[in-house]
């Protein structure tokens, strides 16, 4: 668990806390997308979307809606493999969420999946990557499905020519504010660290995550021990020296399990 005093804007829990502020959230969106946002209708933190109970859900860092657009804003402190497929899945979950709430596909809102990365997601040295779909034989014509995927690489902030984005990416990379907007974010971060409610929520969430991790480790260790016992029993059966009862006693498995393993080995033979 990272100490509260060392949290920065790019840490998941702090990022969500600061982005609850509508003015900051609007400012981030407006800078990164070069658009004007009149009013945000919804800001949801750590939103989990699983349209159907059997589907694998996705948890967005910050999920935002205005009158005609949807924004998923993700912050990445480390590099993830196959980020392209990750954004594809995020986009599909956004559409499924909108359709599940009764929208006709013709009414799907324009959507943006935005990644704010501390490292270069594509190793091409650019401060910003924007994707678009074009027709293969007519690359001048865009296939406009109203979806956008934008990736910012804070490690290349020195190459950015837009002063507002430069200052923002520099802040993401160095945690040093250079203009009024990033100074406001920095002050909000420091203020949050002193807020008792924030501190208790952060501790509670980390304890919850730690308990889940511990439970997962315990389950994994138990499965490992069970697999080791089964493998030892198979090896003993293959040697054909001990009886099933003796093997069950040695490896501490039920006799029925050993007999089942023996049957499986016979079938394979």
The partner residues of 43 in beta bridges, in order of sequence, read 64
Task: Return d(Cα 10, Cα 4) in angstroms, integer.
Answer: 13
pLDDT reading at 139 higher than 70: yes
Q: What is the pLDDT of residue 14?
A: 93
Average pLDDT of the residues in 131-160: 95
Q: Three-state DSSP class for 128?
A: strand
The 8-class DSSP code of residue 154 comes to: G
Whole-angstrom CA distances from 22 to 19, 68, 70 are 7, 17, 15
Q: What is the pLDDT of residue 63?
A: 85
Kindly report, residue by residue over 87-98, the tens digit of the pLDDT: 999 998 888 888
Kindly report, residue by residue over 37-84, the tens digit of the pLDDT: 888 887 776 666 554 434 445 667 888 888 889 999 999 998 878 899
Average pLDDT of the residues in 225-244: 80
If one compares 268 and 45, the residue with the highest pLDDT of the two is: 268
Phi, psi of 159 (to 5 degrees): -90, -10
């Amino acid at each position: 668990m990272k100490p509260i005093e060392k949290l920065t804007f790019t840490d998941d829990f702090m990022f969500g806390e600061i982005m609850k502020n509508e003015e900051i959230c609007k400012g981030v969106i407006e800078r990164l997308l070069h658009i004007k946002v009149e009013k945000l209708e919804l800001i949801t933190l750590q939103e989990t979307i699983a349209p159907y109970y059997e589907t694998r859900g996705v948890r967005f860092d910050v999920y935002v809606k205005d009158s005609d657009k949807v924004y998923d804003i993700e912050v990445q402190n480390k590099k993830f493999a196959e980020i392209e497929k990750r954004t594809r899945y995020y986009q599909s979950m956004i559409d499924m969420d909108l359709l599940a709430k009764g929208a006709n596909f013709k009414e799907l809102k324009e959507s943006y999946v935005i990644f704010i990365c501390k490292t270069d997601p594509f190793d091409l040295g650019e401060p910003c990557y924007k994707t678009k779909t074009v027709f293969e034989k007519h690359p001048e014509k865009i296939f406009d499905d109203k979806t956008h995927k934008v990736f910012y690489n804070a490690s290349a902030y020195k190459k950015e020519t837009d002063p507002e984005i430069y200052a923002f990416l520099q802040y993401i990379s160095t945690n040093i504010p250079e203009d009024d907007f990033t100074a406001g974010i920095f002050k909000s971060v420091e203020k949050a660290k002193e807020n008792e409610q924030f501190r208790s929520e952060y501790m509670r969430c980390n304890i919850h995550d730690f308990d889940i991790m511990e439970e997962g480790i315990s389950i994994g260790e138990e499965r490992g021990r069970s697999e080791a016992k089964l493998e030892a029993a198979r090896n003993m059966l293959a040697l054909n020296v001990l009886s099933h009862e003796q093997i069950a006693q040695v490896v501490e498995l039920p006799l029925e399990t050993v007999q089942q393993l023996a049957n499986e080995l016979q079938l394979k033979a």
